[in-house]
Amino acid sequence: MYKREYDAIIVGSGPNGLSAAIAMQQQGLSVLLLEGKDTIGGGLRSAELTLPGFTHDICSAIHPLAAGSPFFRKLPLEQFGLTYLQPALQAAHPFDNGTAAILDSSLDNTVQFLGNDGEAYRDLIAPLLKDWPLLAPDILGPLHFPDHPLLMAKFGLKGLLPATQLLKRFKGKEAKALFAGMAGHSMLPLSSLTTSAVALVLLINAHLGGWPVPKGGSMAIANALGDYFRSLGGEIVTGVYVRSLKELPPARAVLLDVTPQQLLTIAGERFSSLYKWQLQHYRYGMGVFKIDWALDGPVPFTDEACRRAGTVHLGNTMEEIATSEYKAANGQHAERPFVLLAQQSLFDDTRAPAGKHTIWGYCHVPNGSSVDMTDAIEKQVERFAPGFRDLILGKHVMNTVQMENYNPNYVGGDINGGVLDITQLYTRPALRCSPYNTSAKGIYVCSSATPPGGGVHGMCGFHAAKKALKDIFSIRI
């Protein structure tokens, strides 16, 4: 089946597997990328989930971290068909009174939208915008002595705080709710350490590179990465689900884009008892319940700004969001869940027939939940967009079990590859000098279960490849 012996084999073609493959192929090695499904992409896939002509993103949808990734930005992906489309507004956060908080790519515009909290927001974000080009490589990587320790310390003083603590600098509901919605992406209770870091990174990227959608669907990112890898001489084989290292051809290095549960299945017999114990005690976090809708028109939000936003956070107040996230983390289902909504077709006319639209949304639920959250989610949309349900032409739902069946890395529906709290931030998937090394020589982990964690940025794969190149091939990049 395979043509030859390889220098490196990558198992799994999510953004991290693709990044690892590219980083190693760029050094002139012979690299084989294996994917269990018929198409590459992992969380970067799109399909007609509801009706013919409606293209939905199966997993990820909005891509601030992809557009701002230190690794992706160095690749000529636009030459391989990738086009990012910017929404008129990056995000909006509606309230029950018909108004909304706004996140604009312009810092000045956002400050203006936030009224009395505008200058407090500027004081928080403006210094980080200036420092981000220097900070990004340190933040989006493993624990190490930073290249810019003072800047990293300044970020850490804010980022390590619980969101509930940092947002005390704001007085009005608009800024508090906007920041809480950003922190909600952490998939942690807002009282947890490091939730502020997630919010800050998203806000910074909104002002520097925006929260874009890939034209044609999220699969366009995977296709561009795959085509670039092939252009370098890399080889991709799909339809091969690897269950054991014994199934692989000879290679000097194997990099696995999987989380601990699959890692134990594939390579556990090669690991030390201590390393296996650590993997067995790795913690997965809350899951997601996701819905894709085909609509007869755009979502009729009461607030006009929400009709121009790529992302809409449906959570009303900071207190309501905090309650929803706390419940999901503690085995409960919120009556009014915090809903993350994406309106890709407003800015990408390839997603739906003329005059029609697609939207994408999910809420957080307990890990492994099989509870149907369709009604609760749709009530949240209808709450801020009366008449929404009348526009539904078709829908497709995925609970946590279906999410894991689709992608085994999403254990219990956890799309972050494991809890991203302070105890697993840099020790994922195990406490080691390098999180990408396993206890077996030549076997590495390159998934979101390694730093910096979940998100379409490819940095987990890049750093794993960097370590393997140094260890096995004496190549430093």
Nearest residue to 65 via CA among 214, 183, 221, 211: 211
**What does the alpha-carbon distance between residue 230 and residue 246 come to, in Å, rounded to a whole number?**
25
Mean pLDDT of the chain: 97
| 340 and 311 Cβ atoms separated by less than 8 Å | yes
Look at residues 164, 168, 195 and name the one whose alpha carbon lies nearest to residue 182: 195
Q: Of 381, 406, 431, which residue sits at a domain end?
A: 406
On whether the CB atoms of residues 258 and 409 are closer than 8 A, the answer is yes
Q: How far apart are CA 181 and CA 92, in angstroms?
A: 10
How far is residue 250's CA from residue 439's CA, in Å, rounded to a whole number? 19
Q: Of the candidates 219, 217, 214, 233, which has an alpha carbon nearest to the alpha carbon of residue 21?
A: 233
pLDDT digits (tens, 9 = 90+) for 90-130: 999 999 999 999 999 999 999 999 999 999 999 999 999 99
Measured in whole angstroms, the distance separating CA 260 from the mean position of its chain's CA atoms is: 18
Is residue 300 a part of any domain in this protein? yes
Closest alpha carbon to 197 in 466, 454, 460: 454
Residues 78 and 155 in one domain: no
The radius of gyration of the chain's CA atoms, rounded to the nearest angstrom, is 21
Predicted confidence (pLDDT) per residue in 3-49, tens digit: 679 999 999 999 999 999 999 999 999 999 999 999 999 999 999 99
By percentage, how much of the chain surpasses pLDDT 70? Answer: 100
pLDDT of residue 4: 79
The answer on 399 and 333 residing in a single domain is yes
Q: Is residue 114 part of a domain?
A: yes
Sequential DSSP letters for 178-195: HHHHHHGGG-S-TTSTTH
Task: At 68, list the tokens.
Answer: 């701002």
Predicted confidence (pLDDT) per residue in 324-380, tens digit: 999 999 999 999 999 999 999 999 999 999 999 999 999 999 999 999 999 999 999
**Domain end point (choices 375, 406, 437):** 406
Which residues, including other chains, have CB under 8 Å from residue 60's CB and lie 6 or more apart?
A: 43, 44, 218, 456
How far apart, in whole angstroms, are the C-alpha atoms of residue 271 and residue 251? 18
Domain boundaries, position 175? 84-212+285-406
> How many domains would you assign to the chain?
2
DSSP state of 141: S
Residue 130 sits in a domain of what CATH number? 3.90.660
Condensed to tens digits (0 to 9), the pLDDT of residues 282-324 reads 999 999 999 999 999 999 999 999 999 999 999 999 999 999 9
